[in-house]
Amino acid sequence: MIQSLENLIKQIEEQEHKLVLVKNPTEVIAGSTDVDDQLFKLAVNIQVLTELKLLAGTEAVQLEQAYNQATNKMACDLTEDVLEAVGIVKSDKFKHIKFMLHEESARLDRMKAQYRYFADLYDTYKEWIQIYKKIRLPEGRY
């Protein structure tokens, strides 16, 4: 599973390099030929972001499963005798587990944030496409 996570991270990094810089619609003159260029770049970015969302979502699911499995394993391993030997009160068992898995939790949170970033950027680019379509001149007016 660690191998597949490393592979997913590598794929995400490769896909991120395929994103193309796009101008904000407010920076482009309505009816200019630059509008078509920006629409093409947005189409490329939409395809890349679709793949990035899929990869980040897959990785987030795998990280969450690993985190949940580790939490369950630790919960089973920390019996009352072990807790007493370590000096942890039974009511603090899950606080201790959460503390022990803080690194995995942080990795999961980062991946969820990365997924949200890709999803938000995807939505923004979808909106920009609609704006660019409106500022584009009709076919016969070039």
Q: What is the pLDDT of residues 4-57, one digit of tens each?
A: 778 888 898 999 999 999 999 989 888 788 898 999 999 999 999 999 999 999
Q: What is the pLDDT of residues 54-103, one digit of tens each?
A: 999 999 999 999 999 999 998 888 888 888 887 888 888 888 888 889 99
- What is the spatial distance between Cα 48 and Cα 71, in angstroms, rounded to a whole number? 34
For 20, 88, 132, the CA distances from 94, given in Å and listed in that order, are 45, 10, 52
What pLDDT score does 104 carry? 92
Question: What average pLDDT does this structure show over 115-135?
Answer: 94
pTM for the model stands at: 0.81
- What is the spatial distance between Cα 30 and Cα 82, in angstroms, rounded to a whole number? 70
Residue 142 has pLDDT above 50, yes or no: no
Residue 137 has pLDDT above 90, yes or no: no
Residue 139 has pLDDT above 70, yes or no: no
